[in-house]
Structure 1
C-alpha cells in the first residue's frame, strides 16, 4: 500500500478575509451544477404525479407502473459507486457532460415510449445519467471553491434538493393537465441542451493524471449488491411485510454482496477500491455518514406523508398538495445560505444540532394533527421544519468533505451520495409500510385516517430527534484545512 506524501494544492483560495467570499467563477460553476441537479431531482418528483396517468395510458396495475420509479432508482444506485473512479479516470468535466447527455437522451426516449416496458427501460437510461449528476456536482463545486468555502457551496447545492420535491408535483400536474404526460420528460431536453452548452463553456478543462486501475471485483460485488438490496427494500410497500420472498431474496443476496465488498475494499492489495471505505478513518466523514443516514431515513421517509395527508384526509389534488408544501421550501431558502456561512466560520456541529431541534419541533406539531387541524397551523409547522432543514443536510455534507483533497473529494462525495440514496430508500419503505398498516387498522373516515397519520408522525419525530446523537460529535469550531493523512492511505 502506498501513501501519498503531499496533497495537491486546493483550487479554492486560502482562508480568511474577503477570500472566503464566493467569486464570479465559483458562482458560474455553481450555476452549471445547480442546473444539472434541478434536471435530476425535478424529474424524480415530477413523475410521482403521473402514476395514475401511466396506469390509464398503458392499462397497467399500480405495481407495474411503480417500475417507472423503481427502474430509475436502481440505475441510480448501480451507477453512483462508479462515479468516483470514472471522475478520476476521465475527468469531472467530461463525465458531467456525458451524464447530462445520458439524462437528456433518456428523457427524449421516455417521451417516445409506446409501451410500459419501453418506458421503464428508458427510465433506466435516465437513471444512469442522473445518478452521476449529484456526486459529480458536489465534487466540481468543492474543488472550485476550496475547502474553506465548502459550507457555502453545499448550501447552493442544497437549493434544488429542497425545492425539487415541492415544485415537482406542481410542475408535473400542470404539464399533464395542460399538455400530456410526454411533456414531463420532453421538458428536460431543452434544459439538457442549455446545461451542456453552459457546462462546456464554464467548467475548467480537465487535467487527468495517469489512470488508476479499475476495481472490477468491487463493481461485480457492490453495484449489483446495492441494486438488489434497494429492489428488495422498495418492494416492501407492495408486499406489506419484510417476510415476503420477493423482499427477502433480493435484499439478502444484495446484503451478502455488499458485506463481501467490505473486506475487499479494505484489502491492502486493493489500492483503488470502487468505493473508498478507508475514508471512514477520517472521523468527520464517519460521523457525518451516521448523521446523514439517520436524517435521510427520518426526514425523507416522512416527506412522503405530507402530500398524502393533504390528499387523503383533506381532499386536495396533487397540485394543491404540492403548493401547500411551499412553506417548507421557503423556510429552507431563508436559513440555507446563512447556515452555509456559519458552518464555514464556526463548524457545522452547533448549526446542525440547533437545526435538528427546530425540525423536531415542527415534526412534533404534525404529530398532533386531526382531520380539522387549521391550515395555518400545518403551514406554520412546515415552515418551521423548512427552517431546520436549511441548516441540516448541507452542513453535514460540508463536515464530511471539508477535510478531503483532490481525488478524495470525488470519492467522498460518491460515498455520501450512495449512503443518502440507500438511507432515503429505506426511510421511504419503512414509512410507507407504517402508514399502510395504520390506515388498514383505522376507521375509513377522515378522522380515523388523520389519527393514523398522527401516529406515524410520532415515529418520525423520534427518529429525527435521534440525529442529535451523531450531530453532537460533529466539529463545533472552524475546520482546520490541513490534510488528514488517514484519508490518503491507499492512494
Structure 2
C-alpha cells in the first residue's frame, strides 16, 4: 500500500509546485519574451483553464482506460508540456505548451486522491492524507522560493526543466508499483454533461482570474464569463440529476453529507487560506521592501508551522473525525492573521514571523481532516467522482478567494489614493487583512457543518449498479 501512496505523491509533486513556481516568474518571462503584462498572464490563465477542461472527464477516463494507464499518460503529457515550455521561442508558444501541461495536471490531481484512497481501502486515511497533504500545504510556500532561486541562479527555462526528473522518477515508480489495471469496458461518455460542465468551469475560472484587474468584478470580461459559467454549471446540475448513473459526474454523491459538507467548507476556505496567501508576500514586498525571494523565504515560517503538526494530526483525524479539528484549525489561522491586520511599516519582524508560524499550525490542522472526511465510508467505485468534486471545489474556492481579496486590496488602495496616499498603503493592507480575518471566522462557523464523528460506510446514494469501475483492491 505505501509503495502505491508514495508513487502517487512523487507523481503529483511537480504539479503541486509548478503553479506557484511559475507565478513568481511572470515579470521575468514578460521581459525575456517581450510580452505585455496582459499577455504574459495567459501563461498562468491558460494552464488553469486547461486544468478545468480535463478534471471533469477524469472519472470517465479511469473507467474506460484504467487508472494506471491514465496516470502514466497524464504524467507523460505533463512532462512533455514541461519540456516544450522550456524550449518556447515566444510567448504564444509558451502559453500553448503551458496549456498542454494543464491537460496533464488536470488529470493528475483528482487521480492522486483516487489512487491514495482506494489503495488504503478507506483505512488510516488521516495518517495517509497527512503525508499526501505535505506538498499541498508547502506548495504555495516553497514554490515561490524555488522559483526565486532558479531565476536568481539559472535561466528561466529551468523553471520547467526542474519538473522533468520528478516526472521520470514518477513514471518509473508508477510502472513498478501501481496495481495493474483490470479488464475495462467502454463506459458511456456523457457528451451533453461535458459540453455543459467543462466550459462552465472554464468560464468561472476565467472570470475570476480577470477580477484582479482594474475595475474588479464590475467589468465585462468578469461579469459575462461568471454569469455564463453559473448558467452552464447550473445546467449541468439539472442534467446530472435527471440522468442518474449516466452523467459525467455523479452528483448523487452529494447526498452523502460528509462529502457535501467537506466540499462546501473547502470552497469557502479558499478565501481565508489561499486568498490571504496572496496578501502576505505583497505586504512584505510593498511595505517592507523585501524582494520576491526574500518574501518567499519569510513564508517558510508558515511551512514550518504546517509541518510541525503533520506527524500527529492524521492520527487525531482517524480517531476523532473532522469537525472539531477543522474548527480549531480555522481558529488558529484566525489568530495568526489578526497581527497582519494591525501591521504597518514598523511592526516587529519577530512578531510577524511568529504569526506566520501560527498560521501554518492552523493550516496543518485544517488540511488533513478536510481532505479526508469526504472520502470516509465511500465505496471504492464512488471515490473517483468524489475526488473530482473535491478537487473542483478546492480549485474554484482558491480562485474565488484570490479574486475577492485582490479586489478588496485594489479597492482599498484606490480609496487611500483619493486621500493622497501613493501605491498600496498601510491602510489598504490593514483593511484587506481584516477582511481575510472575517472570512476565516466564516470558516470557523462553516466547519460546524462537518460530521461530529467518524461516518460509517455509506451505500451509493444513486443505488446499486450505477458504476462500472472496479472496486479498490482492498475492498474486494
- Quick check: TM above 0.5? yes
Are the equivalent residues in 2 in contact too, given 1:371–1:447 (CA < 8 A)?
Answer: no
Q: Which residue of 2 aligns with 1:361?
A: 335
Once the two structures are TM-superposed, the CA of residue 353 in structure 1 deviates from its matched residue by 1.1
Q: Which residue of 1 aligns with 2:323?
A: 349
SS of the residue corresponding to residue 472 of structure 1 reads helix
322, 331, 336: which one pairs with 2:305?
331
Counterpart Cα distance in 2 of 1:461 and 1:335: 22
Give the alignment of 1:225-240 within 5 angstroms. Answer: 225-240=200-215
Are the equivalent residues in 2 in contact too, given 1:71–1:120 (CA < 8 A)?
Answer: yes
Counterpart Cα distance in 2 of 1:140 and 1:439: 45
Q: Which residue of 2 aligns with 1:294?
A: 268
Once the two structures are TM-superposed, the CA of residue 334 in structure 1 deviates from its matched residue by 1.5
48, 52, 59: which one pairs with 2:27?
52
Q: Which residue of 2 aligns with 1:23?
A: none
1:420-460: CA deviation from partner (whole Å, max 9, x where unpaired): 10111111111111112222332576997222111111111
135, 143, 146: which one pairs with 1:160?
135
Counterpart Cα distance in 1 of 2:183 and 2:135: 29
SS of the residue corresponding to residue 461 of structure 2 reads helix
Counterpart Cα distance in 2 of 1:285 and 1:478: 12
Counterpart Cα distance in 2 of 1:488 and 1:101: 36
Q: Which residue of 2 aligns with 1:319?
A: 293
Q: Which residue of 1 aligns with 2:471?
A: none
Once the two structures are TM-superposed, the CA of residue 278 in structure 1 deviates from its matched residue by 0.7
1:54-95: CA deviation from partner (whole Å, max 9, x where unpaired): 121122221111110100110111111111111222221111
Give the alignment of 1:28-427 within 5 angstroms. Answer: 28-267=3-242, 269-427=243-401
Counterpart Cα distance in 2 of 1:62 and 1:253: 26
Counterpart Cα distance in 1 of 2:422 and 2:334: 25
Which has the larger displacement, 470-479 or 126-135? 470-479
SS of the residue corresponding to residue 213 of structure 1 reads coil
1:401-423: CA deviation from partner (whole Å, max 9, x where unpaired): 11211121011011100111011
Q: Which residue of 2 aligns with 1:483?
A: 458
Aligned residues: 464
1:218-264: CA deviation from partner (whole Å, max 9, x where unpaired): 01110011101211111111242322111122222222111111111
Unaligned segments of structure 1, at least 5 residues: 1-25
Counterpart Cα distance in 1 of 2:184 and 2:8: 23
SS of the residue corresponding to residue 467 of structure 1 reads helix
Q: CA RMSD in A?
A: 1.7
Counterpart Cα distance in 2 of 1:447 and 1:52: 18
Mark the CA change 1:369 to 1:53 in structure 2 (over 3 Å): closer, same or farther. Answer: same
Are the equivalent residues in 2 in contact too, given 1:287–1:474 (CA < 8 A)?
Answer: yes
Counterpart Cα distance in 1 of 2:339 and 2:165: 41
Q: Which residue of 2 aligns with 1:13?
A: none
Mark the CA change 1:155 to 1:299 in structure 2 (over 3 Å): closer, same or farther. Answer: same
SS of the residue corresponding to residue 319 of structure 1 reads helix
Unaligned segments of structure 2, at least 5 residues: 468-476
1:251-304: CA deviation from partner (whole Å, max 9, x where unpaired): 22222111111111011x442211221111101111111111111222111111
Counterpart Cα distance in 2 of 1:321 and 1:402: 38
Counterpart Cα distance in 1 of 2:308 and 2:59: 32
Are the equivalent residues in 2 in contact too, given 1:30–1:156 (CA < 8 A)?
Answer: no
**TM-score, normalised on structure 1?**
0.91
Are the equivalent residues in 2 in contact too, given 1:296–1:427 (CA < 8 A)?
Answer: yes
